Amino acid sequence: MQRLENKVAAITGAAQGIGAALAHVLAENGAQVVVTDIVDPSATVNAIKAAGGQAVGLQVDVTKNDDLANMVDTAKSEFGGLDILVNNAGIFATLKPKPFMQIDEDEFDKIMTVNARSVLQATKAAVPALIERGGGKIVNIASGTFYYGPPGLSHYTASKGAVIGLTRCFGRELGDKNIQVNAIAPGLTESEGVKANDAFAPFGAPTIATRSIKREMLPEDLLGTLMYLCSSDSNFVTGQTLNVDGGKVNV
């Protein structure tokens, strides 16, 4: 029996990169997956189907409640309900690191809205459906930047600190609903978007040098942790953030 057989998962920001890798592993382990992104997620959906999995794609702006309601409704109409929510959508790979003195209020607000407020919005949309199924799992994608505060990324770091805070609070509030809420804090990951952004090139070698496991981090390095947090293995774990960064941060 596959670990997520008869489970339905929705994931945001899964058209490519880390999100696509997470969507694939959910499907490989038996979940029926609603793959969403602000851009067309068809490539991810088609790859899942080609591998024998079940998935449907949907364009979703995670800052719009109507889009998020449609995501949940699609999970119900296509697959019968919702058991797992992965809040992965966020702005990172397109950022140009800069000193905080150069970050204007509009840019700060945009990062906070997409990266942090959307986690609140998506979770609020999903929770009634999870309760209907008797409980479920919510996994938020945070970031190790919160623990060491890299220069040039203060707005991104603040947004991911908020994700960690929300994870702790949601875990407290949803424990009696049999919903476990946890987060994964990746290190700098060599996704397609990061590799395409020359602004992140100078971060590569110094990041590897500070890791205990001295190599680049790949999206595939997150898959085992995701499966742990989405499966029954973590039924007594909630409100936690697991660092997956090769040993850069120890907390």
CA distances from 181 to 21, 197, 212, 234 (A): 20, 32, 28, 10
Residues 6+ apart with CB under 8 A from 64: none
Give the active site residues: 156
Encode burial over 223-247: b for 16+ CB neighbours within 10 A, e otherwise. Answer: bebbbbbbbeebeeebbbbbbbbbe
> Across the strands, what pairs with 10?
34, 85
72 close to 82: Cβ distance less than 8 angstroms: yes
Pair type for strands 136-141 and 179-186? parallel
Give the separation between CA 20 and CA 51, rounded to whole angstroms: 14
Give the separation between CA 55 and CA 8, rounded to whole angstroms: 10
Residues 6+ apart with CB under 8 A from 240: 167, 171, 182, 183
Comparing C-alpha atoms, which of 194, 131, 164, 163 is closest to residue 62?
Answer: 163
